[in-house]
Structures are given as structure tokens and as C-alpha cells.
Amino acid sequence: MVSVAPILDSRRSGILLPLFSIPGRYGIGELGPAAMRWLDFMAECGQKIWQLLPINPTGFANSPYQSPSIMGCDTLSIGIEGLLGDGLLENGDIGKLPPNGSRIDYGSATELRMRLLRLAATRFLESGADGGFETFCAKEDYWLGAHGLFCALRERFGTENWTLWPSGFRSVDGAKSILGEKAIAKKVSTECALQYFFHRQWEAVRRRAASLSISIVGDMPIFASHGSVDVWANRDLFALDETGNPTSVAGVPPDYFSATGQRWGNPLYRWNKHLELGYGWWIKRMASAFEKFDAVRIDHFRAFADYWEIAAEEPTAVNGRWAAGPGKEFFRAAAKKLGPLPIIAEDLGILSNKAIALRDELDIPGLRILLFALDDYRASSPFLPENFPENCVAYSGTHDNDTAKSALFDSGEDSSRRLALLKKIMPPHYSKMHPIDGAIAWMADSKARWMILPMQDILHLGSEARTNRPSTTVGNWSWRLGEKQLESVDRDFLRQIARR
């Protein structure tokens, strides 16, 4: 029997807000006092769940789902305010702040923040660091050393595509010879210090959240980026040819989000090799995630049952085939090592009977998206609140689809149709409310034990605030919540939702 933690142990509501979206002065959402203020706001509104997107370093097009390090954390989100408080930075170090608009200017934010972070790390290391740093490095040694070396080599060679590095550096063992070089050793130490800074600030956030009875839900991308330390350091676990390039890649066929499917480009796993090694790499990954979060949403859960295999040379995801995933045996092995698994299944898109059976046999809660019911309406739709099971997490929408305002008001004839349908099918006692608020209250009264709302829907924001447009690479992962927007939130409404 596979043991899954009963994370939906009580009815609770919460908010989906990526770490990078938190309001603040320094160009991008960050840990430290800014995150603490966000938690205090949630507590004031009676919200008990904070759901994040992945907190790994971002990769291509600033995507947290294409990270160069699955085990690492996004050091760009280290709190500058916290480093000032620690005495590792001084106010005179700051200089000109990046733009503080509704979208992140990654160029200016990265330039300022990395200069300050490296300065803080240098001061920290030159002061003799501390015992906590040594303990952290020893505990995380199974990934941290390779991570630091990969970061240094990526900077040295100007690309994260390690197949383009000189041949002697395309494996960890071959690359270790360069650690004797002073400049490389310094870069490795600096990256390890930055990971420690994140860890220390994250632990403070976890403590504050726990004191406020707020659970933090993380997000685990199922696949690793080819340009990552994870693939570079574990080539035998991925579908690669002798040169290190993928032979087959991940994605999904055409679905609700894209007419040509989504070709993510991540190399697929050699699941037989993982099985041979007792799923050790995956178990370490899950253990790390469970230390950071109270629960973890597994993105594209379906791939554990069956996944869309695309030949590497295919330009889109239209042509491919379904291949068998590791199934229940994987979760049995993980639970044997880790105990009950606090996971949520992202089970959207096209699901096979095999994927549904796996989710239900494991008793893992899935997702229910109200907006989906308005595009494919039928009385039996699983996305209608009256059809929500108890063991699920209800959402108005996710980071991948448009906002409720855009869907209901800003999309021409489609909006008119959706809004008319919503008003027709929504129980009459919600009709006196704004349609978005009425839909939220409708979900709150369903059987679903958890309900999580994107901040954009709470604020009735349109497409200008959208987080991601699947299959596009421009303008995503950059929306920021403004201080004035936060002040404008109807706290009484959120408290009412929490009570419901």
C-alpha cells in the first residue's frame, strides 16, 4: 500500500502568488521582510494556504519550469532587506533601484541584485562565514558542489548548453580538475554562500508561516531542463545520445492550451535506469521538496502513468507517442523511504484512464478549475462546483490560463458566451455579487476541502496581469503585485470566503 499524507485534512482557502510577484522595492519579489509582510496580509484575510510556483533558479525565457538546477533555489529572490539587516550590505551599496512597475525588468533587476548578492557573499566568506554555513554545505553536499561548479562553468563558457563546452568539461568528474583554479573556486564558494543565504531566509519564512497556521505549497516540475546541472551530472538517467543531446523530449499533444501541443524540450527519463537504482535520484529530490514545503504540487502528474514522447528532431508536439511511466511502483518506493507523501496532482489536460486510475488508487487530490467548465459545458463536468469531490483543490484558474476577468469580460464573443453561461448555471443566491466574486463563493461552498485563488482573480485583473501564456517565450513569469493593489484588496470578502 502506498502511503499518501492526508494534506487535505481540513477545509481551507488560500492564494496563488509566485515568489517573484511579491511587492517590494528591489525589482523582483524577494524573501525577508517583503515575504513576511505578505504572510501577515494572508493571515489578516484568514487565508491558510500560500501556493507558489517553483522556487528553483529560472531558465530559458525566465521560466521556473526550465531551471538550470532542480535542487538549487532562485538566489535572485534572496531578500536585499534581509542582507542589510544582517550587516552584509550597507545602504550606500544599493545605488539606483530597478523599475518597480507591474512587470519585472529582469535585465536591470538581475544586474543590481547579482552585484549586491556577490558583494554580500564576498563579505560573508571573508569574515569566516559561520557554523551554519558549514553544516548546510555538509548536509547538501550531494548536489551543492556540482551545482556550484556548473554555475561557474556556465559563466566561464557563456552557455548552459554543456554539450558545447570543451570535451573535458562535459562530465562532473572531468570538470573537477578546474576546481584548483582560484577564480573558479571563488565562484563555486560564492554560489554555495548564496544558496545558504536563500536557505536561511526561507527557513525564517517557514517559521513565520507556521506561527500563522499558513501552509506553504510548492511546485515540482516533473522534467529537468537539458541545460541543467541535473542532466549534466546524471547523464545515464536521461534519454541522451553519446554527445549528450536528447534523443526524445517531453511535451503534451494538442489540448485546451495549445492547438499544436506544447514541445517543452526537456529530455525524457530512462525510467528503467531509475528503477535499477531504486529511484534514488527522485527520492532525494522529493525529500528536499518536503523539507521546504508543507505540500507539493507535482506538475504534469500524468507522466507518472504515461507521457508524450516526441522525437528530438520534431519541431512541435503534434507528432509523438504515449509511453509508459513508472506508475505505482515509483510512489511505493518513495513512500517506503520518506513516509506519507504530501503531494497534489496537477491532473489537467488530456488524462488517460491509466492516469486517472493511478491518481485515484493513490488517493492523491487533483485540481478542479471552474473556468474550464465554461468552455466545455455539460452538467456532468468535473469542473462544476457541485461536482467537485472532497479530495481536490479548487481553483478559479491557474498560472497557465487567462485571468477570470479576461475570460468573462475582455475576450469578445467568447467572453459574452462564458458570462451568460456562468449567470445561467450559477445558483441564484450568488447572482447579486460581482460575477467573479459569485463564482468564487460558489466554489467556496463546494465539497472541495481546499480552494486556492490566483491573486489576479481576487483583484479582478485582466490579461495585462497574466502570469504565463503556454507555448510563448516573451513577457511571461514577470507580473508583480503592486503595493497599492494589495491595499485595495477587499479583506472582508476574503475573510468571508475563509469562513465559508
Q: Active-site positions?
A: 299, 346, 400
- Amino acid identity of residue 368, one-letter, is R
Distance CA 138, CA 494 (A): 43
Residue for grid cell 447572482: 431
- Amino acid identity of residue 10, one-letter, is S
* CA distances in angstroms from 276 to 236, 325, 333, listed in the order given: 12, 15, 12
Distance CA 23, CA 32 (A): 12
Q: How many CA atoms lie within 13 A of 443 on its CB side?
A: 29
Distance CA 304, CA 366 (A): 14
* CB-count exposure of residue 124 (10 Å: 0-12, 13-18, 19+): buried
Residue 177 β-bridge partners: none
* CA distances in angstroms from 173 to 52, 168, 454, listed in the order given: 35, 9, 44
Q: Virtual CA dihedral for 18, 70, 266, 61, nearest 10 degrees?
A: 40
Task: Report the sign of the C-alpha dihedral through residues 68, 71, 76, 77, in that order.
Answer: positive
Grid coordinates representing 155?
Answer: 559563466
For residues 82 and 201, is the Cβ–Cβ distance under 8 A?
A: yes
* CB-count exposure of residue 318 (10 Å: 0-12, 13-18, 19+): middle
Laid out side by side, the sheet with 215-220 consists of 343-345, 295-298, 215-220, 49-51, 12-16, 450-454, 392-395, 366-369
